[in-house]
Amino acid sequence: MTEQVHGRGLAFPLRLSAGGVAESAGAAKVAESIRIILGTQHGERAMRPDFGADLRSLAFAPNNGATADLARHNVTDALTRWEPRIDVLDVTVAQDGARLLIDVRYRLRATNEVHNLVYPFYLEGGR
């Protein structure tokens, strides 16, 4: 059932399995799609220049509250726009050394299951 609703396709990142190329389905496919959205920079896709969360534009920003707030805003906006299979419940960003830990809580619309995903984003500027 969830495979029909959430999709099935090649796993991300691309890897091999015993039968060839690995596949994923259901809630795992949605989580992979979220990672793709968060890892894509605006302008990276020629036919969808505004796709993605544009987090890499923050790579050299200082690790402070303003950067964390901007990351939270970018993630919330991107997931709301580009992932129609979920409802974003909460996005929190914690500063951890030279990285931001982006914690996304979301609900799968088809099944009402609540999931979370922690996405580490490394800042080059550090503190």
Say if residue 108's pLDDT is above 60. yes
Where is pLDDT greater, at 9 or 92?
A: 92
Residue 85 contacts residue 30 (beta carbons within 8 Å):
yes
**Residues spanned by the domain of 64:** 2-122
In a domain, residue 66? The reply is: yes
For residue 13, what is the domain's CATH number?
3.10.450.40
In a domain, residue 22? The reply is: yes
In a domain, residue 68? The reply is: yes
Ramachandran angles phi, psi of 33, nearest 5°: -65, -40
Q: What is the pLDDT of residues 50-102, one digit of tens each?
A: 999 999 999 999 999 999 999 999 999 999 999 999 999 999 999 998 999 99
In a domain, residue 94? The reply is: yes
In a domain, residue 127? The reply is: no
DSSP E strand boundaries for the chain: 8-10, 16-17, 20-21, 23-25, 86-96, 99-108, 114-122
Kindly report the number of other CB atoms within 10 A of residue 111's CB atom: 14
Q: How far apart are the first and last CA of the chain?
A: 46
User: Structurally, how many domains does the chain consist of?
Assistant: 1
pTM of the model: 0.84
